[in-house]
Amino acid sequence: MLDKTPTTRAQALLDTFGAALEAGRIDDAVNLFAEECYWRDLVAFTWNLKTVEGRDQVRDMLQAQLAAARPSNWRVATGEEATEADGVLESWISFETATGRGYGLVRFKNGLIWTLLTALGELKGHEEKTGFTRPLGAKHGQNLGAKTWKEEREDEERTLGYEKQPYTVIIGGGQGGIALGARLRQLGVPTIILEKNDRPGDSWRKRYKSLCLHDPVWYDHLPYIDFPKNWPVFAPKDKIGDWLEFYTKVMELNYWTRSTAKSATWDEAAKEWTIVVDRDGEDVVLRPKQLVFATGMSGKANIPDFKGRDRFEGEQHHSSQHPGPDGYKGKKVVVVGSNNSAHDICAALHEAGVDVTMIQRSTTHIVRSDTLMDIGLGSLYSEQALANGMTTAKADLIFASLPYRIMHTFQIPLYEKMRERDAEFYAALEKAGFQLDWGADGSGLFMKYLRRGSGYYIDIGASQLIIDGKVKLAAGQVEEITENAIKLSNGAEIPADVIVYATGYGSMNGWVADLIDQETADTVGKVWGLGSDTPKDPGPWEGEQRNMWKPTQQEALWFHGGNLHQSRHYSQYLSLQLKARMEGLPTPVYGLQAVHHRK
């Protein structure tokens, strides 16, 4: 084999695999997998987002799906070369199915498949009009009575939701709803996005004034239009707001502002939803075939039911309602919570000269922004990565190709490096009394995010304020709130004029309960988390994010969202699933997730 290039060997292995699949020789195909193996499929085979682990699960999936999928033409992707390092032969791949074209990434160990990612790229006959097939724009030739683009848009705005029903309604016009809406428009799926605020981007504008993105720009691009090369690394909230507003306009989204969904019911007979929308004070009834909740990971504010909240005489609000530090000088502000919002808010208050105390109720994982950017993301999302030939699409797929089951093993060494690099910093924090963690298994921030969506702070300066005692720190559980103080379980009493509850957010199916009913919310179950049996992410193992970007136990009900990377990347797969249904293509779902938790 020494005279064969990695590419040649990869292609040969793919040929064998492809031949077995095409002949329906499932056992042969299964035997091409290593004992420890992971096949993550994003729609192409399973019409789901599904990771099967181990040969038995691979067999089970193929028995269910192979006949309909009819995969073929497995190739090392055009223009790519396979690579080999540390015993792993890795290759970008492309393939076809009965209804689509896909691509992915495969990793072989000793000639057997260790990890396989297959992702649906496009549906045959329903490809996006882009590049060589981009629309002409001008109307050439003779077009008696032709309408202009502007007239067509005006007609659309006038009729969609009234004379003509959208196929999809998306509740929530933040980056998730916007990214998904853009993909759906490119696929020709009539869609209305409902946003309660006045303008696209307001969900960012209305946050506390010092807020900037915590993820760096290379991670954050929206579909189709990248942030320019001179966009800041961490965009201030209002700048993101402006970009989202611009994007919504130029991507021609049907975006209803000042619009709130009041109720939604599933009509089993007509197979459609009935959604009553308050559109700027007027009720409109929408009847889409598909309903997507894009209400945000940080959407449904959670305030624990502390004893005595109603007694408190001062001002109190959830962090999502916190306007910023202006007007609080001279007051004692107490922030309950020690994760990202808490730190940002405390730092801003201190900068404005306000007396502020943070109450830490449980451990927090802290990583410094520079360190995280460098060690955590740098190989995939950075200027250096771009200079090395990385693209956003590739980075997203490489990320997606790491099986959730073993992702922590990739992460742990990175966080060990970070711990080492910033040892003095952590020692100083602990000396100040701050309680640190590194995730349940030392796997750090991203796993915490995937498992529970919270529990960390990406430090951009607030930690130093805690180290220096400039932001006061108290530790303990909240026992009760009095007229003017918070009493902790250890007896400490912290005087307060203002309380900010930086106490996180609830599962998105809370919106389902509000809008549809509790029964449907329970049917659908908890949103987010991997079932890792770590704090706030109880087992059993799910293998994928609960309920995100894929079919749920409620027909035609979906969830979209996550950070900007996820909003961008997973909007592709969700939009294709919706398009396929609109076109009446067969979409046999494999392994629809069971529900183990209600919230």
Residues contributing to the site for its own copies (CB under 8 A): 128-132, 134-146, 148-151, 153, 186, 209-210, 212-213, 217, 224-225, 228-239, 242-243, 245-247, 249-250, 351-353, 369, 383, 386, 460-461, 464-465
Omega cis (within 30) before 540 = yes
Task: Report DSSP state, residue 320.
Answer: G
Which residues touch 420 (CB under 8 Å, ≥6 apart)?
A: none
User: 226 or 430: whose CB is closer to its own copies?
Assistant: 226
The nearest distance, CB 310 to its own copies, in angstroms, is 34
The residue among 244, 452, 431 whose CA lies nearest residue 340 is: 452
The nearest distance, CB 40 to its own copies, in angstroms, is 27
CB 366 within 8 A of CB 457: yes
Residue 593 exposure: Cα atoms within 13 Å on the Cβ side: 31
The nearest distance, CB 500 to its own copies, in angstroms, is 18
Beta-bridged to residue 112, according to DSSP, are 109
**Dist. CA 240–CA 214, nearest whole Å:** 12
User: 223 or 453: whose CB is closer to its own copies?
Assistant: 223
Both structure tokens of 235: 């965009």
User: 232 or 539: whose CB is closer to its own copies?
Assistant: 232
Which residues touch 464 (CB under 8 Å, ≥6 apart)?
A: none
The nearest distance, CB 382 to its own copies, in angstroms, is 9
User: 313 or 326: whose CB is closer to its own copies?
Assistant: 326
User: 212 or 595: whose CB is closer to its own copies?
Assistant: 212
User: 137 or 584: whose CB is closer to its own copies?
Assistant: 137
User: 11 or 392: whose CB is closer to its own copies?
Assistant: 392
The nearest distance, CB 387 to its own copies, in angstroms, is 8
- Which stretch of DSSP H or E encloses residue 405? helix 404-421
The nearest distance, CB 211 to its own copies, in angstroms, is 9
CB 358 within 8 A of CB 340: no
**Dist. CA 221–CA 200, nearest whole Å:** 17
The nearest distance, CB 436 to its own copies, in angstroms, is 20
Both structure tokens of 579: 């398009």
User: 383 or 519: whose CB is closer to its own copies?
Assistant: 383
Which residue in the block uniquely carries the two structure tokens 């909003």?
567
The nearest distance, CB 328 to its own copies, in angstroms, is 14
Length of the chain: 599
In angstroms, the first-to-last Cα distance of the chain is: 53
